[in-house]
Amino acid sequence: MLWIPAGLALALVVLPVVGLLARTDYARLPELLTSSASLNALQLSLVTAVLSTVFCVLLGVPLAVVLARSRSRGVRVLRAVVLLPLVLPPVVGGLALLFLLGRNGFLGYLLDVTAGIRIPFTTAAVVIAQTFVAMPFLVVSLEGALRGAGDRYELVASTLGARPWTVFRRVTVPLLLPALGSGAVLSFARALGEFGATITFAGSLEGVTRTLPLEVYNQAEADVDSAVALALLLIVVAVLVIAVARPRAVEGRP
């Protein structure tokens, strides 16, 4: 009898999208999607989401390994901290980033005074905001996989003479690839859909910080049809990415 709740769950996910499709003005779709504002937003979204995913992987993999393998007590606290971006409302996350990297934030002030670098209102701020909210998805899926696998393969590798870095590179990472793939896809999807932290921390300016979700929100103020068309575009991009990346990730071949 699982199919009743399963069907409900599917309906909850699919029906709103069907609603979106039903409301789309298909006659105006090409014109709405090819406006320069839409194309700029799409390009910016793809570039920033890819960059954020790369940062998530580069930083998240070592973090997940440390969290899964460390036996110290403080790690339990750390694990909870890593999950914070998942529970924080994105707007609060954006504010937190401002308090750190904004002009009056302690790191932001330092950067401004010493190097003349200002992060808010730049594309870099978009990438940072997306990385911030997407990182937990990568870390959680990896850490789960690491815990499930245990460290037996790593132990064997070290007795075979592999130094810790070799073990990490030749055993830990390849074994993690399936989880890494799905974690990266999740992170990318989250980064692509990121809104609250971006608008708070990076602002909204066409071609610089106005990603697709921000453009959707912007258009929704003036022209709902345009917003719906853009939302459709966002969905298509997300579905494409998941469909293309997912099977390869699951296969787990390097």
Give the shortest CB-82-to-another protein separation in angstroms. 26
Q: Which stretch binds another protein (CB under 8 A): 54-62, 73-81, 136-144, 201-209?
A: 201-209
Q: Does 144 bind another protein (CB under 8 A)?
A: no
Q: Does 116 bind another protein (CB under 8 A)?
A: no
Q: Does 207 bind another protein (CB under 8 A)?
A: no
How far are the Cα atoms of 40, 48, 121, 125, 228 from residue 199, in angstroms, in the given order? Answer: 16, 14, 9, 10, 19
Q: Where does 150-223 have alpha helices with state H?
A: 152-159, 164-167, 173-193, 196-201, 212-222
Three-state secondary structure string covering 144-168 = HHHHHHCCHHHHHHHHCCCCHHHHH
Q: Does 204 bind another protein (CB under 8 A)?
A: yes
Nearer to another protein, 69 or 79 (CB): 69
Q: Does 126 bind another protein (CB under 8 A)?
A: no
Structure tokens at 29: 């779709």
Give the shortest CB-85-to-another protein separation in angstroms. 18
Contact 143, 137 (CB under 8 A): no
* Binds another protein (CB under 8 A): choice among 6, 18, 80, 239: 18
* Binds another protein (CB under 8 A): choice among 8, 84, 107, 205: 205
Q: Does 162 bind another protein (CB under 8 A)?
A: yes
Give me the numbers of helices (H) and strands (E) for the chain, helices first please. 14, 0
Q: Does 199 bind another protein (CB under 8 A)?
A: yes
DSSP state of 170: I
* Binds another protein (CB under 8 A): choice among 10, 224, 243, 244: 224
Contact 201, 125 (CB under 8 A): yes
Start-to-end CA distance of the chain, whole Å, equals 39
Task: Classify burial at 197, counting beta carbons within 10 Å of its beta carbon; exposed 0-12, middle 13-18, buried 19 or more.
Answer: buried
Q: Does 102 bind another protein (CB under 8 A)?
A: yes
Residues of this chain that interact with another protein (CB under 8 A) are 15-16, 18-20, 22-23, 95, 98, 102-104, 120-121, 152-153, 155-164, 166-167, 170-171, 174-175, 177, 199-200, 202-206, 209-210, 214, 217-224, 252-254
